[in-house]
């Protein structure tokens, strides 16, 4: 028998990447940061997508050797999972603000479920780099992130795994603004249909840990507020709030009745109070996302308007003194120097409580005071709220 030599031994060709329905994988499956799933990128009709494979539940195919009764029971579990997840994803898509990665498709293929979303080209940026941004740009980032979360909460969605790796960033506005985009709703749930398990560690809320530990507690949107408070502190200082070194996580310190210490240098004035409230041990003591958004809107950290212009005190728009007879804002119509209104106004078309004094409703686009609008069920995009483009 002839001996095998290096020349005679050939490497086995790499296995072809699988095709999931119409989606051809372009990279092998990865479990990095995936929790209870695997992910990859896939192509369909020349367009790239992010694809996620749910590791459970699994429904065996007929003829696989498993008893028919077992297959029927697993199918019932899969059907219930599909209905629950489809309802969640519909709520996420209805919450779309332009800075929430919506779900393109959710389907069952062979034995597993798959979620398809757009592929986002984002910037990998640590919290320490965000903390070095000018305060006005950090405040803008916080507003956009809070508005997206507020929209999810209004549709009953609890993200449940809010952390820096589930936020994508992109530069817009001549590369001057760093904007966040919320991703990954695989561990999310509707507040009236909570998950039976929770994930996370660093950004976990105290009540979420108690739930994991077996306590009979209800997890609501306030768990997201706690995580968002930690992110606020991290984005402004580069670090999480301080606590005794004998604890690994913030929730551990709070459950042991120890205090969290905020960086005394957090600016603008008032932001530290907002963060402090968001990090309350008891969820009912934390503000809602809407209350946080309103508080951020009231923080006065905008720079002075350039020479020859004036900044509207109601909507923040920069106006040229040579336009509108220099008396009224070209964006919201408010007179120059008008006092900020503490509240907003209720749309007569859709009933949405608008948070800022504007001419058009954020939710349906109807003009203020009008009972007829554009009929859109989605919140307005970021460019209408903050004068910045979507991405």
DSSP string, 156-182: TEE-----GGGEEEEEETTTTEEEEEE
- Calculate the average pLDDT of the chain: 83
Task: pLDDT band for 30, please (50, 70, 90 cuts).
Answer: very high
Confidence at residue 359, expressed as pLDDT on a 0 to 100 scale: 58
Residue 296: per-residue pLDDT: 93
pTM above 0.85, yes or no: no
pLDDT band for position 376 (cuts 50, 70, 90)? very low
What confidence tier does 379 reach under pLDDT thresholds 50, 70, 90? low
- Quick count: other Cβ atoms within 10 Å of Cβ 136? 12
User: Mean pLDDT, to the nearest integer, of 127-135?
Assistant: 90
Q: What is the mean pLDDT of residues 30-48?
A: 89
Residue 391, pLDDT above cutoff 50: no
Percent above pLDDT 90 for the chain = 53
Nearest partner of 284 among 344, 225, 362, 211, judged by Cα: 225
Calculate mean pLDDT across residues 127-140: 90
Q: Which domains does the chain have, with CATH numbers?
A: 19-118 (3.30.200), 127-298 (1.10.510.10)
pLDDT in tens, 205-228: 999 999 988 899 999 999 999 999
Percent of the chain with pLDDT over 70: 78
Query: Looking at 222-265, which runs of residues are DSSP E strands?
Result: none
224-276: pLDDT as tens digits = 999 999 999 999 999 999 999 999 999 999 999 999 999 988 878 789 999 99
The predicted-structure confidence for 99-113, as pLDDT tens digits, reads as follows: 999 999 999 999 999
pLDDT at 386 over 80: no
Is 40 in contact with 98 (CB distance < 8 Å)? no
Q: How far apart are CA 37 and CA 29, in angstroms?
A: 10
Q: Which residues contact 296 (CB under 8 A, 6 or more apart)?
A: 139, 142, 143, 146, 271, 274
Going by pLDDT thresholds of 50, 70 and 90, the confidence category of residue 325 is: low
């Amino acid at each position: 028998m002839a001996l095998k030599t290096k020349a005679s031994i050939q490497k086995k060709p790499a296995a072809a990447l699988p095709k999931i329905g119409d989606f051809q994988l372009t990279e092998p499956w990865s479990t990095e940061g995936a929790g209870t799933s695997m992910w990859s990128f896939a192509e369909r009709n020349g367009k790239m997508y992010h694809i996620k494979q749910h590791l459970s539940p699994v429904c065996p195919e007929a003829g696989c050797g498993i008893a028919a009764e077992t297959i029927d029971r697993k199918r019932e579990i899969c059907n219930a999972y599909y209905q629950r997840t489809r309802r969640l994803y519909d709520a996420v898509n209805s919450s779309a603000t332009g800075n929430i990665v919506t779900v393109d498709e959710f389907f069952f293929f062979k034995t597993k479920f798959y979620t398809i979303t757009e592929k986002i080209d984002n910037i990998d940026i640590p919290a320490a780099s965000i903390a070095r941004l000018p305060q006005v740009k950090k405040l803008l980032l916080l507003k956009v992130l809070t508005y997206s979360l507020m929209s999810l909460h209004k549709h009953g969605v609890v993200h449940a795994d809010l952390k820096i790796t589930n936020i994508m960033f992109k530069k817009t506005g001549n590369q001057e603004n760093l904007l966040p985009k919320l991703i990954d709703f695989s561990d999310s749930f509707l507040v009236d249909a909570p998950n039976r398990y929770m994930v996370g560690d660093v950004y976990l809320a105290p009540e979420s840990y108690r739930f994991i530990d077996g306590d009979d507690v209800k997890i609501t949107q306030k768990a997201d507020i706690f995580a968002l408070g930690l992110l606020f502190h991290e984005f402004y200082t580069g670090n999480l709030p301080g606590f005794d070194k004998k604890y690994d996580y913030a929730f551990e310190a709070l459950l042991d009745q120890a205090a969290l210490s905020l960086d005394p240098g957090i600016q603008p004035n008032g932001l530290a109070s907002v963060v402090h409230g968001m990090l309350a041990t008891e969820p009912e003591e934390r503000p809602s996302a809407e209350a946080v958004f309103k508080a951020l809107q009231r923080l006065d950290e905008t720079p002075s308007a350039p020479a020859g212009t004036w900044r509207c005190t109601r909507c923040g728009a920069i106006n040229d003194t040579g336009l509108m007879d220099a008396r009224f804002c070209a964006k919201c119509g408010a007179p120059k120097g008008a006092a900020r209104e503490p509240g907003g106004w209720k749309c007569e078309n859709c009933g949405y409580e608008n948070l800022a004094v504007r001419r058009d409703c954020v939710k349906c686009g109807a003009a203020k005071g009008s009972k007829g609008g554009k009929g859109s069920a989605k919140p307005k995009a970021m460019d209408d709220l903050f004068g910045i483009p979507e991405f």
